[in-house]
Structure 1
Amino acid sequence: MLSGLDPSGGAGIQADIQAITSLGGHPLPLLTCLTVQDTNNVYGAEPVNAELIRQQLQRLAADVPIHAIKTGALGNADVVDVLVEFLDSQPELPLIVDPVIKAAGGGDLADEALVQAMKTRLFPRAEMITPNGVELAQLGGSEDPDQAARNLIDAGCQSVLATGGHGTGIHIINTLYNHAPEPMHWEVERVGANEFHGTGCTLAAAIAAGRASGLSARASISQAQNYVHRALLHALNVGKGQRVPDRGILWER
């Protein structure tokens, strides 16, 4: 996976490592950016040199079988170019993209050049993108989730899993849009009234772990949603801000 470093340990690459490990996978973590971050918000970010990431990908691919890739915060557009170039040599590799634009606290994690690079070069290569409500509206150009998702699919996305964690109500509804006539919905009881730190990272990483283990996309979503729900039931009070999913829970597959 390619993700940023959250020094609070709530989101980013640590969330990915913990989720993938809990679901029986072996993570191959590549850092894309360093952030100034706590459990409240993101206050700054600095990208990792894209050429270093290129070399890491090349060395790993020559040494280790890779079964799926998950991305989070990518740092800048140069990293997108490196990743797309790598994916061109791995055309069958499932790619799950968590299109991280803003932190839950409102801090920016992507500039306009990175957003455009994701939309035009990365999304068409992804098997699935997993935007939350705020990201879906911005990326899809509409406040109506159905229209925003359809706009993204019309622009080249294979499928869009619109996540409902930022919404309200007693249930979280995650909706999968693809080229089928009707979207598919997953529903789970909402845990608590407040948002958590790193749920989007955890969900996308868990989906990638499922795909890497050979599960279908739909089965991977179901497993991932159940895993995230359990992690939230045991969430940790790490700092003074948002609670953190307990991704170290024992998982029975």
Structure 2
Amino acid sequence: MQAITSLGCHPLPVLTCLTVQDTRNVYGAEAVNPELIREQLRCIAEDAPIHAVKTGALGNSAVVDVLVEFLEKHPDIPVITDPVIKAAGGGDLADDELLATMKERLFPLAEMITPNGIELALLGECDDPAEAARKLLSKGCASVLATGGHGTGVHITNTLYNHALKPMSWDVERIGGEYHGTGCTLAAAIAAGRALGLSPRAAISQAQNYVHRTILHALEVGRGQPVPDRGILWER
């Protein structure tokens, strides 16, 4: 929510999954009652305009079903899906049933999914990023932004795969180290850009620059990974 606010938007949060976590790992997670989520979505949609949707940890397949029900009624809203599967510390946030339901029902409704390298390999059932992305595209994904934060090298390379002839890549300076919540921050920032009317590519570019800045000012809030400083104001 801080990232969305920093980029000039107002977040309308819907709770889908409660977690037990710190800066080191996730130790437990429990999905919110799907009927309560349905009521949250109905209440928000009746009160305020929604210009983009960003999804994160969803808890279980029943939650996906409720979300899909909502999105099918609002087909013009761009959806940015961060397919949260594992915490950086290794804790599980999605079981096989949830993964299957996301792939079958949610991904075809999303404008973009933003898996990291580990998530992309699991979802695309292939260690080669391009082939894994191709498999996801063939099953209904509109676009796959494969993020490179878990890799090595001087630069982080994020690659956008869609139905164009060639993928598009961005290189961002790698600061080094591991940070808690960079994937979530990136997806939220992309959604904020889309809500403000930026094209998908422009939203990606702005989001990458924003995340880079939050990492430069990362906060040592606990005993684990530093947290990106999402409270910084972004000047457009």
Q: Which amino acid aligns with 1:21?
A: T
Equivalent AA in structure 1 for residue 167 of structure 2: P
Q: Which of 216, 222, 225 in structure 2 is aligned with 1:242?
A: 225
Structure 2 residue identity aligned to 1:175: T
Q: Residues of 2 paired with 1:86 and 1:43: CA distance?
A: 30
**Where in structure 2 are the equivalents of 1:102-251 lying within 5 Å?**
102-192=86-176, 194-251=177-234
How far apart are 1:195 and its partner, in Å?
Answer: 1.1
Measured after TM superposition, the shift of residue 63 of structure 1 is 1.2
Q: Kindly provide the CA deviation profile for residues 121-164 of structure 1, in whole angstroms up to 9, marking residues without a partner as x.
A: 00000000000000000000100001000010011100000000
Partner Cα distance (2:216, 2:188) in 1: 18
What is the distance in 2 between the residues matched to 1:155 and 1:56?
30
Q: How does the TM-score come out when normalised to structure 2?
A: 0.99
Partner SS, residue 30 of structure 1: coil
Residue aligned with 2:170, SS: strand
Structure 2 unaligned spans of 5+: none
Show the counterpart of 1:98.
82
SS at match of 2:15: strand
Q: Which residue of 1 aligns with 2:48?
A: 64
Amino acid at match of 1:67: H
1:12-51 to structure 2, matched below 5 A, reads 17-51=1-35
The one-letter amino acid of 2:157's match is I
Q: Give the C-alpha shift of residue 250 in structure 1.
A: 2.1
Q: Secondary structure, in 3 states, of the residue corresponding to 2:123?
A: helix
- 1:211 to partner: Cα distance: 0.3
Instruction: Tell me how far apart the structure 2 counterparts of residues 34 and 91 of structure 1 sit (CA, whole Å).
Output: 27
Residues of 2 paired with 1:93 and 1:251: CA distance? Answer: 24
CA deviation vs aligned residue, 1:77-123 (integer Å, no higher than 9, x gap): 11100011011110111000000000011100011111111000000
Deviation at 1:249, TM superposition (A): 1.1
Kept in 1, the 8 Å contact 2:7–2:233? The answer is: no
Q: Letter of the aligned partner of 1:68 in structure 2?
A: A
Asked if 1 retains the 8 angstrom alpha-carbon contact of 2:111 and 2:143, the reply is yes
Letter in 1 for 2:22: D
* Identical-pair percentage: 75
RMSD: 0.6
TM-score (normalizing by structure 1): 0.92
What is the distance in 1 between the residues matched to 2:17 and 2:115? 19
**Number of matched residues?**
236
Q: Cα deviations across residues 192-242 of structure 1 (Å, max 9, x unaligned)?
A: 2x2100000000000000000000000000000000000000000111111
